[in-house]
Amino acid sequence: MAVKRKVAKAAAAEEKEFVVVLAGNPNAGKTTLFNALTKSHLKTGNFHGVTTVPARKKTDGVTYCDVPGMYSFNSYTMEEDSAYQSSKSADLIINVVDATTLENSLNLTRRLIELNSNTVVYLTKLDRLKSRGGKVDTQKLSAFLGVPVLSCTAKELKRMVASGNLPQARKSAEIALSEAYYGGNNGVNRAEKLFYNKAFALAFFVAALVLTFFITFHPSMPGALLKGLFETLLIDKLGGALGSAISNPVLSSFVVDGIIGGVGGVLSFIPQIAILYLVLILLDESGISSALTFVTDGLFEKAGLSGRAAFSLISGFGCTAAAIATTRGYSEDSARRKTIAVLPFIPCGAKMPVFLTFLSPLFKNPFPVICALYFSGVALAIIISAIARGKKEGLISEVTPVCLPQAGQVAKKLCFQVKSFIIKVTTYVFAFCTLSWLLSHVNFTQGICAPEDSILGVFSRAVAYLFYPMGIRDWRLSYAALTGFAAKENVAATIAMLIPEGLSLGLAPSVAMCVFFLCCPACISAFAASVREIGLKRTALYNLAQLAFAFVLAYLTAFILSLL
Instruction: Give per-residue pLDDT as tens, 71-89.
Output: 766 655 566 666 777 777 7
Q: Where are the alpha helices (DSSP H) in 343-366?
A: 351-359
Is 21 exposed, middle or buried (CB count within 10 Å of its CB: 0-12, 13-18, 19+)?
Answer: buried
Determine the pLDDT at residue 560. Answer: 92
Averaging pLDDT over each range in 31-35, 196-200, 321-325, 369-373, which range is the top one?
A: 369-373
Q: Is the pLDDT of residue 423 over 80?
A: yes
20 bridge partner residues: 64, 92
Question: Can you give the pLDDT at residue 552?
Answer: 94
Q: Is the pLDDT of residue 549 over 90?
A: yes
Give me the mean pLDDT over the 344-361 stretch: 87
| Measured distance CA(541)–CA(478) in Å, rounded | 23
Which 3-state string (H, E, C) describes 376-415?
HHHHHHHHHHHHCCCCCCCCCCCCCCCCCCCHHHHHHHHH
- Could you tell me if 154 and 36 are in contact, meaning their C-beta atoms sit under 8 angstroms apart? yes
Across the range 521-541, mean pLDDT stands at 86
- Among 96-110, 308-322, 392-406, 426-440, the minimum mean pLDDT is found in 392-406
Please report the pLDDT score of residue 308 as a whole number. 67
Instruction: State how far the Cα of 140 lies from the Cα of 178, in Å rounded to an integer.
Output: 9
At 175, the pLDDT band (50, 70, 90 cuts) reads: very low
Is pLDDT above 80 for 492? Answer: yes
Asked if 46 and 291 count as a contact pair (C-beta separation under 8 A), the reply is no
- The answer to whether the beta carbons of residues 97 and 122 sit under 8 Å apart is yes
Query: What is the mean predicted confidence (pLDDT) over 11-29?
Result: 72
Are residues 538 and 496 in contact, defined by beta-carbon separation less than 8 angstroms?
A: no
Pairing of strands 92-98, 55-59: unpaired
Q: What is the mean pLDDT of the chain?
A: 78
Output 515 or 486, whichever has higher pLDDT. 515
Please give the order of strands across the beta sheet that includes 55-59: 55-59, 62-66, 19-23, 92-98, 119-124, 149-150
- Residue 6's pLDDT is 53
What is the residue type of 15?
A: E
Q: In whole angstroms, what is the distance from residue 538 CA to residue 480 CA?
A: 27
What is the per-residue pLDDT for 516? 94
Asked if 103 and 118 touch (Cβ cutoff 8 Å), the reply is no
Helix 333-342 to helix 524-534 angle (10° resolution) is: 170
What sign for the dihedral angle of Cα 157, 419, 220, 236? positive
Q: Is 185 helix (H, G, I), strand (E, B) or coil?
A: coil
Arithmetic mean of pLDDT, 171-179: 44
CB 122 within 8 A of CB 96: yes
> Confidence class of residue 216 from pLDDT cuts 50, 70 and 90?
confident
Q: Mean pLDDT over residues 244-250, rounded?
A: 79
Query: CA-CA distance, 183 to 196, in Å (whole number)?
Result: 21
pLDDT value of position 174: 45
User: What is the structure's pLDDT at 17?
Assistant: 77
pLDDT of residue 442: 83
Q: Please state the pTM of the whole predicted model.
A: 0.70
Residue-wise pLDDT for 464-484, tens only, equals 889 999 988 888 888 888 888
Which domains occur in the chain, in start order? 2-182 (3.40.50.300), 198-563 (no CATH)
User: Average pLDDT in the 426-454 region?
Assistant: 81
AA letter at 234: L
If pLDDT is split at 50, 70 and 90, which confidence band does 12 have? very low
pLDDT beyond 80 at 494: yes
pLDDT at position 228 is 83
Choice between 551 and 203, residue whose per-residue pLDDT is larger: 551
